[in-house]
Amino acid sequence: MKHIKVEKVSKHYKGDGVETRALSDVDVKFTKGEFVSIMGPSGSGKSTLLSIVGTLDQQTSGKLYFDEKLINNLGLDDLADIRFNNIGFVFQQFQLLQTLTALENVLIPLFNRTIHFNKKERAIELLNLVGLSDKLNSFPSQLSGGQQQRVAIARALIAHPDWILADEPTGNLDTQTGNTIFELLQQLNREKKCGVIFVTHDPLLAEKASRVIEMKDGSIIKDREGRSV
């Protein structure tokens, strides 16, 4: 999947008789191979935009295209297939199952899927890639926060995605560990040629991306080149 395009997308939430506008007529296009950061204060709409781009949430109005295909009206099963075949997710909370080892957590997306590669070999390869070759049989409680996030990144890569969508992946980490995780995503972007869309409230990290999108009050206010190193 080479492009993701958002066209006039708005998102409204209703509760207790009050309507909250999370996104307002957002237009943006992402191209495979880019490393894009989306930054802005809390409530600016950056995580909502990422959720819609990843088909985890649905817009109130507007259109979402994967390449040139409009996916607004696809059913849940078709959307799940698109996510599985194209997108890997990394979240702030790691979302690892505490009763499974690192290796087993990486394999989770492949459960109940017909796969044409060796699942275990692929998972071990990815844990080696993220520097956890000695932690295959460790449980999350035996891993540091940075190591748990590395497991989550390996899990995101398990199905050879075109895109990694990362929502505040350094938010629960100290500065040094957060920088290391960011550098790992940069490395994967360069070596695996996968696009990365990285949501953060940290301007220092955001500026290291090749493209920086700034959001405020549900709208994109700037879309510019970063200072990628």
pLDDT in tens, 163-200: 999 999 999 899 999 999 999 999 999 988 899 999 99
Q: Which of 34, 29, 88 is nearest to 56 (CA)?
A: 88
| Percent residues over pLDDT 90 in the chain | 82
Pair 214, 221: CB distance under 8 Å: yes
The band of 116, judged by pLDDT with boundaries at 50, 70 and 90, is confident
Asked if residue 229 has pLDDT above 70, the reply is no
Please tell me the predicted confidence (pLDDT) of residue 219: 97
Q: Residue range 78-104: average pLDDT? A: 94
**Token pair listed for 13:** 């939430």
**Strand 18-31 relative to strand 69-70, pairing:** unpaired
In a domain, 70, yes or no: no
**Strand 195-200 relative to strand 211-216, pairing:** unpaired
Backbone phi, psi, residue 77, to 5°: -65, -40
CA 31, 37, 49, 40 torsion-angle sign: negative
In a domain, 185, yes or no: yes
Q: Which domain holds residue 143?
A: 32-59+76-225
Overall domain count for the chain: 1
Q: Residue 115: which CATH number?
A: 3.40.50.300
| Percent residues over pLDDT 70 in the chain | 99
In a domain, 5, yes or no: no
Q: Residue range 66-83: average pLDDT? A: 92
pTM tops 0.85: yes
In a domain, 48, yes or no: yes
CB count within 10 Å of CB 174 equals 12
In a domain, 24, yes or no: no
Please tell me the predicted confidence (pLDDT) of residue 228: 60
In a domain, 19, yes or no: no
CB count within 10 Å of CB 160 equals 12
